[in-house]
Structure 1
Amino acid sequence: MRREELLGFQWEGRKFPLIDNQLGIRKPQGMTAALSILTTYTSDGARAPYEDAVGQDGLLRYKFQGNPNHYTNVGLRRAHELGVPLMWFFGVQPKLFLPFFPVWIVAVELAELQVAVALEEAQRHLRVDGPVSPIERRYSERISRQRLHQPVFRQRVIQAYETSCAMCRLRHPSLLDAAHIIPDRDTRGVPAVSNGMALCKIHHAAYDQNILGVRPDLVIEVRADILAEIDGPMLKHGLQEMNNLSLSVPRRRADRPNPELVEERYEAFRAAV
């Protein structure tokens, strides 16, 4: 959703903004609790994606708006006390946000000037005031990754590649994925645009299965045995003709594939050939 849509939202025929024009927390006049929280877009080059956003319990954190007694922060605490849901708008590009609803404030951590946020019902029942078992932490981290990090990563990558497959230039959004260069199961597989490529589903699968790879010079290389195969038009046009084509990359240099990650992934491709 675009910023102007959120600010111009209409309810019962009247303008009712879903976000604050200047603040990250929206607490409308006359309402007891906060209505929404907002995370502005920050490029990967400015900070590590989601750095310090996940606690030891696997729950996401959201920082207070300045003074803990500011009315917006009081609204967050009231949302916690009342157990009411909020909306979370997460920036994927300047003035473009991905909405998450419902989310809940499940703990207020005054010493750290932050609150803990649950993305689904299951996280609401996790312990946040003491040690968490490794199983609970992994479970909570998986929810945070699947419900927020992966959708945000996908949107950021697709936007950076202008809704086009980096290999075949297909422009159907429903057929595009955000492919990791270094898999997200790896500790270095961060959800940064520079660790991703927008690929159509067939080229994403082919990349993951080492049917094709990307050289450090960003040229596509198709496996030799695949080039030697004889089959139908999909093999010929969809895979074999990708060989030696240059990858299409984002306009912003910070969004382009990280050379070190590309080289590492290419070595893994070569080892699998």
Structure 2
Amino acid sequence: MGGSGDLDAQLRAAMFAHLARVSAAHPDGVPSDVINSFRFADAPMRLIVQPGIRKPAQLDAALTIRTTWTPPGAAAPYADEVGPDGSLRYKWRGTDPNHPDNRALREAMRRQAPLAYFYPVARGVYQAIYPVYLVDEDQSAHEFGVDLGQYPNDEDDSAETPLDRRYTRRLTLQRLHQVLFRPKVLRAYESRCALCRLRHAPLLDAAHILPDHHPHGEPVVPNGLAMCKIHHAAYDADIIGIRPDRVVEVRQDILTEIDGPMLRHGLQEMHGAKMFLPRSGRDHPDPERLEERYVQFRAA
């Protein structure tokens, strides 16, 4: 038993290290073939499989789960969604509680084993979210509850009130949205800075137009802008602003400042430029959010 447990722990640790490497190299989402390039004990091991629950033969508990990509406007084959209590729900394989995949999920929940969750940002492209834990099962709804992050401590959980649990579940959902925000924004902008068109994804951020704490600061693409790290910092510092018509302005004192080539080419020459827009209109920055943020810039 001890050897089996050691193997399980070693495999999961190796998988998480692999996912950390490939996620850093693909901040706009990792292609499935890159995820499946994982090797353990010098042997290849696929992490993404059909239909979505992966339990290698040498393990008793599930290792990874995956949500199927659904094109915009199409019906999802599996309703991996948010439950009435605000938690993330992951559907069984079919409706048989004794299906091997469902037993593997149940065993992962019993052991409190950390899994990797692959959430699609495009067809064949995923955001790897890890570690995640299966924390409860609703057999009548054929689904498990998923928590993103540390497994709840039994002692702490016993002291929680229903309000505490609802708040914790809401935080789980918020974390999911935040994790998906960057790859979705970078993919919408074709992994280029909306201002200078820099195409190196590791040097790009997903900037919020309105911040997290704002009532309309949701982590959604219309509230996001793909920006290189220099322009993101300048935007947050109100050195540059973007008008509702998507034209860039540079603060007046910066325009008249004399410094090196970075200031001249990186900031001053942005003044009056039209920002780069996503191909899809549904991903364009929201003009009302831009206007509110621009008012803040003008007041700075």
**Structure 1 length normalisation: TM-score?**
0.79
Task: Name the counterpart of 2:178.
Answer: 150
Judge conservation of contact 2:147–2:172 (CA < 8 Å) in 1: no
Measure how far apart 1:177 and its partner are: 0.7
**Which ranges of structure 2 fall in alignment gaps of 5 or more residues?**
1-29
Q: Secondary structure at the match of 1:88?
A: strand
Question: Number of matched residues?
Answer: 265
CA contact (8 A) 2:241 2:250 kept: yes
Residue of structure 2 aligned with 1:188, choices 216, 224, 227? 216
Per-residue Cα deviation, 1:36-55 (whole angstroms, up to 9, x for no partner): 111234577779xxx96377
**Are 2:169 and 1:169 aligned?**
no
For residues 226-247 of structure 1, give each alpha carbon's deviation from its aligned partner in whole angstroms, at most 9, with x where no partner exists. Answer: 3233333332222221111010
Letter in 2 for 1:131: T
Deviations 1:127-186 (A, max 9, x none): 38963555x76677557645x433321122122222211111222333211101121222
**1:3 alignment counterpart:** 32
Q: Is the 8 A contact 2:133 2:151 kept in 1?
A: no
Preserved CA contact (<8 Å) 2:88 2:172: no
Q: State the partner residue of 2:278.
A: 250
Question: Which amino acid is the alignment partner of residue 124 of structure 2?
Answer: K
SS in 1 for 2:198: coil
Q: Distance in 2 between the 1:112 and 1:9 partners?
A: 33
1:91 maps to 120
Alpha-carbon separation, structure 2, partners of 1:196 and 1:43: 21
Separation of aligned partners in 2, 1:110 and 1:262: 45
Matched, 1:81 2:102: no
Contact in 2 for aligned 1:44/1:193 (Cα 8 Å): no
Q: CA RMSD in A?
A: 3.3
**CA distance 1:90–1:263, change in 2 (3 Å):** same
Contact conserved, 1:45 with 1:254, CA < 8 A, in 2?
no
Structure 2 Cα separation of the partners of residues 200 and 43 of structure 1: 28
**Where does the alignment leave 5 or more consecutive residues of structure 1 unmatched?**
none
Percent of counterpart pairs with the same letter?
44
Match for residue 127 of structure 1? 157
Residue 6 and residue 171 in structure 1: after superposition, are their counterparts in 2 closer, same or farther (change >3 A)? Answer: closer
Give the structure-2-normalised TM-score.
0.73
Question: By how many angstroms is 1:94 displaced?
Answer: 1.7
